[in-house]
Structure 1
Amino acid sequence: MTRKKITLSYIPNGSERKASFKKRKKGLMKKVNEISTLCGVDACAIILSPYNHDPEVWPSSLGVQEVISRFKKLPEWDQGRKMENQESFTRERIKKTKEKLRIQEKENWHKEMTNAMFQCLAGEKLHNFCFLDLNDMEWLLDEYIEDIARKIKSLKKEKHLKNGSSSG
């Protein structure tokens, strides 16, 4: 059973927020344990919450200190190399989403123009299209004509090579 997608926003109801915090904290600790166990890596988690005065840590205070100590011994450049915060993570997601959108819009445009072109070939009147649509359609037709010309040239070359090698 799949869960519904939630929107990430502040939970105004205090008791709901606390319940969500406890559930998610437990899940986070479980994930840190899993990645450490399954992948054989050193990992730790430190959670400072308004519901508990002491920080909650995994695996233990000593384990957390060891991981942090190893991290601090790395050169400064290595420390920040793969570090991610909410802002950089969100910025990267937005960038990827914009790129996907750009690709999808280009694909949709191509399909729309191809469809419009075939409608014209089927006898639909050109006056249903605006100047920009007609301009785009002309560009697309030019692309198709160039593709056809390349294919014809390639086929002629193949035919010439076959005829030349069979007569020799």
Structure 2
Amino acid sequence: MARKKAKLVRIANDSTRRATFKKRKNGLLKKVSELATLCNVSTCMIIYTPEEAAMQPEAWPSPPEAARIVVQFRNIPLVEQRQKMLSQESFLSQRIAKLEDQLRRAERKNRELSVSLLVNEALASGRLPVVGIDDAAAVARAADSMLKEVRERINKEAAW
């Protein structure tokens, strides 16, 4: 059964907040572990708990391994570090550009299909339906293209 979406507000009750933190932390640890295993990459997770400010931050898989991974990352030149990093803004910009490209392709395909439908209607009825000048010009271009293809096929067949 699906859970309803949780409201992202601070949990007022201390004991409930600690229990939720513990459950979510364990879920996050599991995901990081799975990511490391499935993708064969070095991963680490460092958690700072505000309630336990006096204690050291919790590190996964271990504090020395997490430190090694952080040092390894910091040793990479800054240009390479930032090459694949995305801010929320750049991620959304890339996503918008990709969706706009998909939209343009879908619009082009819809336009081709509507022109093809108009050509078929014209062929079936013997006359072009009442359309605007842009649609009539597109139908004429499509008809010319089809006529050119037919002529090429005829020439190929005649050459045999």
TM-score past 0.5 threshold = yes
Aligned twin of 1:142 = 144
> What corresponds to 2:109 in structure 1?
107
> Structure 1 stretch 102-111 or stretch 126-135: which is displaced more?
126-135
Match of 1:59 among 48, 58, 61: 61
- RMSD of aligned Cα (Å): 3.4
Q: Report how far residue 43 of structure 1 moved.
A: 0.9
The offset of 1:145, in angstroms, is: 1.8
1:10-49 deviation per Cα after TM superposition (whole angstroms, max 9, x unaligned)? 946555xx7xx85765544322111212333211234568
Aligned partners of 2:50, 2:116: CA distance in 1, in Å?
Answer: 59
Which residues of structure 2 form unaligned runs of 5+?
A: 12-16
Identity %: 30
In structure 1, the partner of 2:158 is 156
What is aligned with 1:95?
97
Q: TM-score, normalised by structure 1?
A: 0.68
TM-score after normalising by structure 2: 0.71
Distance (Å, rounded) in 1 between the aligned partners of 2:87 and 2:136? 47
**8 Å CA contact retained: 2:118, 2:128:** no
Unaligned runs of 5+ in 1: 160-168
Shift of 1:107: 1.2
SS at match of 1:126: coil
- Pairwise CA distance, 1:134: 0.8
Q: CA deviation at 1:105?
A: 1.2
Q: What is the match of residue 165 of structure 1?
A: none
For residues 143 and 51 of structure 1, the distance between their equivalents in structure 2, rounded to whole angstroms, comes to: 73
Flag the 1:108–1:27 CA change in 2: closer, same or farther, 3 A: farther
- Helix, strand or coil for the counterpart of 2:125? coil
Residues in 1 aligned to 2:109 and 2:92: alpha-carbon distance in whole angstroms: 25
The answer to whether structure 1 residue 45 and structure 2 residue 41 are counterparts is no
Rounded Cα–Cα distance in structure 2 between residues aligned with 1:34 and 1:93: 26
In structure 2, relative to structure 1, the CA distance for the partners of 1:39 and 1:121 (3 Å cut) is closer
Letter in 2 for 1:140: A
DSSP 3-state at the match of 2:135: helix
Contact preservation (8 Å) 2:32, 2:44 = yes
Q: CA separation of 1:46/1:153 partners in 2, compared to 1, >3 Å: closer, same or farther? A: farther
Contact 2:44 2:61 in 1 (8 A): yes
Report the AA paired with residue 96 of structure 1. Answer: K
Q: CA deviation at 1:52?
A: 7.7
Q: Match for residue 32 of structure 1?
A: 32
